[in-house]
Amino acid sequence: MSTTTTDPRMSGARRAPPKGISLSWSDPRFRAIVWQVVIVGLLVGGVWYLASNTATNLEQRRIATGFDFLGRTAGIPIGEFLIPYDPSVHTYGRAVLVGILNTSMVTIVGVALITVLGTLVGIASLSNNWLLSRLCRAYVEGMRDVPLLLHLLFWYAVMLTFPPIREAISVMPGVFMSNSGLKVPLLVWEPAHTGFALAFLAGCVATWIAARRATAVQYATGIRPKVWPVAIAAMVVAPLAIWAVMGAPFTLELPVKGRFRFQGGGNISPEFTALMIGLVLYHSAFAAEIVRSGILAVPSGQWEAGGALGLKRGTMLRKIVLPQALRVIIPPMTSTYLGVAKNSSLAVAIGYPDLVSIVNTTLNQTGQAIEGIAIIMSVYLGISLSISLFMNWYNTRIALVER
Amino acid sequence: MSTTTTTHTPVPERSQPPLLVAGPIAWMRANLFSSVWSSLVTLALAYFLIKFTVGLIDWAFLKSVWTVPTDPATGKLNPDACRQAKGEGACWAVIWDKYRFILFGRYPFDEQWRAAIVLVLFLGLFIVSAMRRFWRPVLALIWVAVLTAIFTLMWGGVFGLRYVAQDEWGGLPITLILSTFGLACAFPIAVLVALGRRATNLPAVKLICVIYIEVIRGVPLISLLFMASVMFPLFMPVGLNPDKLLRAQIAIILFAAVYLAEVIRGGLQALPKGQYEAADALGLSYWKKMGLIILPQALRLVIPPLVNTFIGFFKDTSLVLIIGIFDLLTSGKVAVADPIWQAFSTEVYIMLGLIYFCFCFSMARYSQSLEREFSKSVRR
């Protein structure tokens, strides 16, 4: 069939509008292009103006641009580090890396604690027990209506009210509270412990495989083989056996109270403790609300159907309600996790050496403001992006598969 | 009810009806002691709650120190009474001594009545804005008028008021200015950005909006505040250096606009497509379509989440402490840096917490009541 022949009956009014853009204000496509050119032009002009100002200012203040300063010896004392750091030897680059690691640690530990506490409080606030649910609601309201920074300052002040080291409170044998932090016993690490840890990891994998097989058998036959004997054997007995075979070493290095400082033992600084308490209390209130509304979003018919099957309340919660609630919970929970990562930067206010605090010191010392802020922003963008990617992956994994 | 008794053959074994279905005992049985576990939880919680409450009353009221005497030798307050009560009772004397400093910062002492009027004006503005009968265009005028009055009072220099430089402002007025003025400026930007992000026929504009939103949402507010305090002076032409408060205010506006824009975008998306098509069918121009048809409905839909954003944002203004601006939290922190009161920071932080709590809690309650009211009208 030929489409090139024009139908003589077709009137001019029914013909498609011309393909090209007419240079007239009444053509919406022309208008769109003009508007975009104007807006982009204004933006580029504005950025160029700011950039030229910046160049003039930098020249006037004799600040060299570039990231060369990262190679210079830092000289910033840092109280807490996960990789060896010595201010007289190591560079600014390494100091920044220490900061990134500290920020990541706070974020990871914080997210884990917030998830646990938030889920517990969220579930408990829907409990049948009036007192429990009321207390949980009060907790949520009380914690989230106070700024996080105030939380941090308050808990830091509380940490500093503990007595000095000389009069440190012994919470348990070997655990001391003082205004310079919490002192805990440290395990003297030996090869047998590495063996124990590896065996435990292997046991976790074995249990996971056993659980998957049990599910497969259950689908095929309707009877679920018991998993817990495998779990105990693989996760408890085997690691203990390996530890015993390798000599069963177990020595604790106890902190010993001196006049001004402790000898030995591990230390959890007051800054870290205050930061953790503040972050967890504040964000777990939000997490609890998310979990609560997620559970409420599951239709009550699901509870009733579970009850009709004769399931217990706990089983219903675990097997029926939570898996469905998770689909509602995940997206807002992602924002909470992102908030934790970003809010961990408030550590600068109480002197915990996170990324922002270290970069802030660096830019005060070197004057490299633009580079410093570029580092902060790109690291946080990276963290935010990786959290969202991971959570999006998890979200698609648990999403409802509709037939 | 009849009182006549008739004889019946005795009713055979039947399960007993519940003894009580109403009244406090039945209520407690259902809600506090429904099972063994529930009873245990109730008892444990009740024990801790009573112990905590008794301890709190003891600390805050019974054993607390409300005022301390002035030392005649030095003319300063003598906090020995507080030191003795330390650990057992609160030292509210610090609040008594410092409350004007905490509320108004370094604002000249004799002029603090002006800052107090500003607080009242702010509260009035919030209450008026919360009333639905004022949700009319005239509200924008009220805001402009009240904000002008507030800045006139704070600055002075006219009507015989003494001029007070901006770096002398402090305390609660700064917190309220940063959040309220920030919101008033961020809101129009947010509307434009939300519209820009949905402008599919303007790909360049859409891209700019997406980049702006995603970058700002990915970085902490602190990094923007640092940018405002150390990088902003570099951006400006030589010799021009806007003061610190204004720079922080700009950073907060840019930050808030993004979060508000995302909420507004939610409202734009939730509106049925038919509304857009109907507006197009009427031949309305883009701005008329948005201003008369789409935005009034979309904004109404998102008022509860907008209020929640305001709450988060009100709390976030406290971050200006880190770049050394004298807001409520900073003035509290500076107040307890006084050598006499150094050991009593907890009391001051509790009071600050209560102030923030009052603002945030009332906003949260308001948002919940709005949500209930809106869902009522939708259900009808």
Is the pLDDT score of A1 beyond 50? no
Q: What is the pLDDT, as a whole number, of residue A85?
A: 77
8 Å CB contact of B219 and A60: no
8 Å CB contact of A342 and B215: no
Sequential pLDDT tens for chain B (380 residues): 445 566 666 666 666 666 666 777 888 877 788 788 888 888 998 999 999 999 888 888 887 777 777 777 776 777 777 777 777 777 887 787 788 888 888 888 877 888 888 889 999 988 888 888 887 778 888 888 888 888 888 887 777 777 877 778 888 988 998 998 888 899 999 999 999 988 888 888 889 888 898 889 888 998 899 888 888 888 877 777 778 888 889 999 999 999 999 899 888 888 888 888 999 899 888 888 888 888 888 888 888 888 888 888 899 999 988 888 888 888 888 888 887 777 788 888 999 999 999 999 998 888 888 888 877 665 54
Q: What is the pLDDT, as a whole number, of residue A19?
A: 65
For residue A183, the cross-strand partners are A176, A267
Q: What is the pLDDT, as a whole number, of residue A322?
A: 87
Report which residue type is found at B373: E
Question: Does residue A69 lie within any of the structural domains?
Answer: no
To the nearest whole Å, the CA of A391 is away from the closest chain B CA by 15
Backbone angles phi, psi at B160, to 5 degrees: 75, 5
Q: What is the pLDDT, as a whole number, of residue A185?
A: 78
Q: What is the Cα–Cα distance from B287 to B279, expressed in whole angstroms?
A: 11
Is the pLDDT score of A5 beyond 70? no
Question: Does residue A263 lie within any of the structural domains?
Answer: no
Residue-range definition of the domain harbouring residue A389: 92-165+268-398
8 Å CB contact of B202 and A35: yes
- Contact between A324 and A298 under an 8 Å Cβ cutoff? The reply is yes
Nearest to B119 by CA among B94, B139, B146: B146
ipTM associated with this complex: 0.84
Beta strand A262-263 with A256-257 is antiparallel
Question: Does residue A153 lie within any of the structural domains?
Answer: yes
Question: Does residue A36 lie within any of the structural domains?
Answer: no
Give the CATH number for residue A153.
Answer: 1.10.3720.10
Q: How many domains does chain A have?
A: 1
Is the pLDDT score of A3 beyond 60? no
pLDDT confidence band for A284 (50 / 70 / 90): very high
The pair of three-digit structure tokens given for residue A194, joined into one six-digit string: 């590495």
- Cβ-defined contacts of B157-161 (< 8 Å, 24+): B161/B111, B161/B114
Question: Does residue A208 lie within any of the structural domains?
Answer: no
Q: What share of chain A is helix, strand, coil (3-state, %, to 5)?
A: 65, 5, 25
8 Å CB contact of A54 and B352: no
Sign of the CA dihedral with A381 first, then A382, A384, and A390 last: positive
pLDDT digits (tens, 9 = 90+) for B46-104: 999 999 999 888 888 887 777 777 777 776 777 777 777 777 777 887 787 788 888 88
The pair of three-digit structure tokens given for residue A16, joined into one six-digit string: 């498609």
Q: What is the Cα–Cα distance from B314 to B309, expressed in whole angstroms?
A: 9
Question: Does residue A281 lie within any of the structural domains?
Answer: yes
Instruction: Compare CB distances from B329 to A36, A147, A363 and report the shortest one's residue.
Output: A147
Instruction: Compare CB distances from B202 to A36, A135, A380 and report the shortest one's residue.
Output: A36
Q: What is the pLDDT, as a whole number, of residue B367?
A: 85
Q: B205: which chain A residues are within 8 Å (Cβ-Cβ)?
A: 35-36, 39-40
Is the pLDDT score of A250 beyond 80? no
Q: What is the Cα–Cα distance from B71 to A377, expressed in whole angstroms?
A: 52
What are the DSSP E strand ranges found in A34-92? none
Q: What is the pLDDT, as a whole number, of residue A2?
A: 46
Total Cβ atoms within 10 A of residue A321: 21
Question: Does residue A305 lie within any of the structural domains?
Answer: yes
Is the pLDDT score of A248 beyond 60? yes
Q: A133: which chain B residues are within 8 Å (Cβ-Cβ)?
A: none
8 Å CB contact of A145 and B360: yes
The answer for residues whose C-beta is within 8 angstroms of residue B104's C-beta and 6 or more apart is B112, B115, B116, B170, B171, B172, B173, B331
pLDDT digits (tens, 9 = 90+) for A213-243: 998 998 888 888 888 888 888 888 888 888 8
> What rounded mean pLDDT belongs to chain A?
83
Question: Does residue A259 lie within any of the structural domains?
Answer: no
Mutate which of B223, B311, B334, B357 to test chain A, going by most A C-beta atoms within 10 A?
B223
Q: DSSP string covering B296-332, please?
A: HHHHHHTHHHHHHHHHHHHHHGGGGGGGT--BHHHHH
Alpha helices for chain B (secondary structure H)? 24-31, 36-57, 80-85, 93-104, 112-130, 138-155, 172-197, 203-218, 221-226, 232-235, 244-270, 273-281, 286-288, 295-301, 303-316, 328-335, 345-379
